[in-house]
């Protein structure tokens, strides 16, 4: 059964912003894009950098160390030097709260 | 651009580091269909170097994590990798590259990504070599890691980025560290005093003994280690010595070939050397940099990757130029420091947040108010936004820069020119 974890208030971040969270000890980067929320594991698949420190533009987050782009919706790599996807987590909005499921 | 397949051609890359790997990878992804040979002097597959002084040195990083071309990738991309091979000669007239073991290959286009070698102090050759370290290669990082495992005290000569990163890693491993820097302050060549002072305090707060403004008069071996005599008569002893006094561009081959040199191989904005059939990229190449208004040779991860990509595309007919603002980062004690532009040229620091306390960014202005660079401490996103602004020829209003209640991307900006 999917276990949902309370992550943040829906107004905790604006479009094109990212929030670094720790949910049940797991580092998670929560993104907001055109009103929708997306969550990725908060570690670049290329180097040891927090994606929540990265810059969000055009649906991608730019890794703060190596400038590689990752799709915030899927975690797919979009540019060099990133080659491996970043794990993405299911997100849902319940009332004014964002919830994230880690068990996938 | 119009990529030319170059089916019958042979392109040769001399060098086995990050820039070499990106040249080879880019040639293939851009459609080059000919023979591609990469000749690297190190026995290792091409890798990125930043972790060598950090995670890899500490024992938490793997070779796989930093490798850019491995046997599988090289086979898929049809890159012939001659590893552990030193190129001894290039005949520009006949277009032939020869290696130390007598192999040779004829090229149509040649790329030089020969990097640099760690600078050494003269007269060190008589010292016990197992006590003296430099840090440029995977092999050297493994060797230093082994040394630190049994060491109580490491002496670092040189208070630049490599020296400081190794000092931080050694402290994390529980090793006592003394850093000796001949200049009055740390990273003085590239950083303003405010950053030098912060680095000094950061390292002292982690137990590093800092000796600045004093040169080294002599180094001798002792029964169990190394002893350094300072110019002021002081004496320091340690188990091991790291030389972190910079690198020298590896230009021997280019010099023998008669290419134009100036502390590195002189290239144009597309990585082309004084011979239009030969390109160079990475630590070894000196390129015209519009932001700096002069030519620069950059020893950074970003330069090694992105200049190499531009050069590879140019060799296939691409028209793009390498026009990036200098940018690099360092990690010490879990603190991420990012540098943009030429902050050392700034005379006035405007702080956003509290970088000296671990979160913020210094914007550096010159005497006329032009933003010449920035240094961010745990504020990578601020620096990223600033980079975009400076690339567009703009700078934040100095007064607005200090306002942390407004996200950096929404700060009012101005043309980045002198203020009367």
What is the distance in angstroms between the Cα of B88 and the nearest Cα belonging to chain A? 31
- Are the beta carbons of B327 and B307 closer than 8 angstroms? no
Instruction: Find, in chain B, the residue whose alpha carbon is nearest to that of A45.
Output: B65
Which residues on chain B are in Cβ contact (under 8 Å) with A47?
Answer: 50-51, 65
Residue of A nearest to B300 (CA): A66
CA distances in angstroms from A8 to A18, A88, B12, listed in the order given: 12, 17, 53
Subunit contact B305:A64, Cβ cutoff 8 A: no
Q: How far apart are CA B330 and CA B376, in angstroms?
A: 10
Does the pLDDT at position A85 exceed 80? yes
Closest C-alpha among B326, B325, B282 to residue B305: B282
HSE-up (13 A, CA, CB side) for residue B317: 9
Nearest to A67 among B51, B302, B407 (CB): B302
B302: which chain A residues are within 8 Å (Cβ-Cβ)?
A: 67
> Does the distance separating the beta carbons of A81 and B380 come in below 8 Å?
no
CB pairs under 8 A between A and B: 34
Shortest CB distance from B384 goes to which of A17, A47, A55? A55
Verify whether the Cβ–Cβ distance B381 to A80 is below 8 Å: no
Inter-residue contact B165 to B242 (CB < 8 Å):
no
> B412 near B398, Cβ under 8 Å?
no
CA distance B43 to B164: 27
CA distance B362 to B401: 9
A7 within 8 A of A39, measured Cβ to Cβ: yes
CB A89 within 8 A of CB A40: yes
CA-based diameter of chain B, in Å?
65
**Nearest by Cα to A27 from A102, A103, A84, A94:** A102
pLDDT at B332: 95
Q: How far is CA A88 from CA A38, A62, B333, B343, in A?
A: 8, 16, 29, 38
Residues facing residue A37 across a β-bridge: A32
Instruction: Indicate if ipTM > 0.85.
Output: no
- How far CA B28 is from CA of A14, B18, B119, B151, in Å, comes to 40, 16, 34, 46
Say yes or no for a CB contact (<8 Å) between A54 and B302: no
Read off the tokens for B34.
């000919």
User: Which residues of A touch chain B, with CB atoms under 8 Å apart?
Assistant: 17, 47-49, 53-55, 62, 64-67, 80-81
* Best residue in A45, A47, A56, A69 for a mutation probing chain B (most B CBs within 10 Å): A47
Strand spans (E) along B247-400: 247-249, 265-266, 278-280, 285-289, 294-296, 327-332, 335-341, 348-354, 359-365, 371-377, 394-396
Distance CA B413, CA B101 (A): 59
With an 8 Å Cβ cutoff, are A53 and B385 in contact?
no
User: CA-nearest residue of chain B to A80?
Assistant: B305
Tell me the per-residue pLDDT of A52-75, one tens digit each, with 9 for 90 and over: 989 998 899 999 888 889 999 999
Residues A89-102 have pLDDT tens digits of 999 999 999 999 99
* Residues of chain B contacting A55 with CB distance shorter than 8 Å: 381, 384-385
pLDDT, averaged per 10 consecutive residues of chain B (420 residues), comes to 72 98 97 97 97 95 92 97 98 97 97 96 80 96 97 97 98 98 96 98 98 94 92 96 97 98 98 98 98 96 97 97 95 94 97 96 96 96 92 92 89 86
As given in the structure block, the two tokens for residue B25 are 């990878």
Radius of gyration, CA atoms only, chain A: 13
Query: Which residues in B343-378 are b (16+ Cβ under 10 Å) and which e?
Result: bbbbeebbbbbebbeebbbbbbbeeeebbbbbbbbb
**Residues of A whose CB is below 8 A from B68:** 81
């Amino acid at each position: 059964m999917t276990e949902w974890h309370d992550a943040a208030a829906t107004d905790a971040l604006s479009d094109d912003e990212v929030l670094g969270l720790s949910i049940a000890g797991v580092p998670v980067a929560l993104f907001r894009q055109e009103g929708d929320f997306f969550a990725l594991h908060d570690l670049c698949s290329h180097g040891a950098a927090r994606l929540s420190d990265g810059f969000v533009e055009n649906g991608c987050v730019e890794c703060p160390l190596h400038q590689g782009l990752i799709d915030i919706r899927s975690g797919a790599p979009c540019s060099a030097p990133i080659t491996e996807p970043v794990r993405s987590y299911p997100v849902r909005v319940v009332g004014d709260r964002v919830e994230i499921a880690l068990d996938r | 651009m119009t990529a030319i397949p170059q089916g019958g051609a042979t392109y040769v890359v001399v060098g086995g580091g990050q820039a070499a790997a990106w040249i080879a990878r880019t040639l293939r992804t851009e459609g080059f269909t000919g023979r591609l040979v990469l000749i690297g002097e190190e026995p290792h597959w091409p890798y990125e170097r930043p972790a060598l002084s950090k995670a890899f040195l500490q024992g938490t990083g793997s070779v796989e994590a930093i490798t850019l071309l491995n046997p599988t990738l090289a086979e898929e991309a049809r890159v012939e990798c001659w590893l552990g091979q030193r190129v001894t000669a290039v005949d520009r007239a006949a277009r032939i590259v020869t290696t130390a073991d007598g192999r040779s290959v004829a090229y149509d286009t040649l790329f030089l990504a020969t990097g640099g070698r760690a600078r050494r102090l003269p007269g060190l050759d008589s010292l016990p070599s197992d006590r003296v370290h430099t840090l440029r290669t995977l092999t050297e990082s493994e060797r230093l890691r082994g040394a630190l495992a049994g060491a109580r005290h490491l002496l670092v000569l040189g208070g630049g980025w490599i020296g400081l990163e190794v000092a931080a890693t050694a402290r994390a491993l529980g090793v006592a560290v003394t850093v000796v820097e001949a200049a009055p302050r740390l990273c003085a060549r590239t950083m303003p005093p405010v950053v030098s002072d912060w680095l000094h305090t950061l390292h002292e707060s982690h137990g590093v003994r800092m000796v600045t403004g004093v040169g080294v008069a002599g180094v001798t071996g002792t029964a169990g280690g190394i002893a350094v005599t300072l110019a002021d008569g002081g004496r320091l002893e340690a188990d091991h010595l790291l030389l972190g006094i910079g690198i020298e561009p590896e230009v021997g081959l280019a010099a023998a070939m008669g290419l134009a040199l100036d502390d590195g191989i002189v290239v144009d904005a597309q990585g082309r050397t004084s011979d239009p059939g030969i390109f160079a990229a990475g630590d070894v190449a000196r390129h015209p940099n519009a932001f700096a208004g002069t030519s620069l040779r950059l020893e950074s991860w970003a330069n090694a990757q992105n200049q190499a990509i531009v050069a590879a595309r140019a060799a296939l007919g691409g028209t793009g130029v390498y026009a990036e603002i200098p940018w690099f980062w360092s990690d010490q004690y879990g603190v991420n420091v990012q540098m943009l532009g030429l902050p050392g040229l700034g005379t006035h620091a405007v702080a956003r947040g509290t970088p000296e306390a671990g979160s913020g960014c210094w914007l550096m202005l010159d005497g006329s108010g032009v933003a010449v660079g920035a240094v961010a401490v745990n504020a990578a996103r601020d620096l990223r936004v600033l980079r975009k602004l400076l690339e567009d020829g703009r700078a934040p209003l100095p007064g607005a820069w200090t306002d942390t209640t407004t996200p950096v991307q929404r700060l009012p900006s101005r043309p980045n020119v002198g203020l009367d």
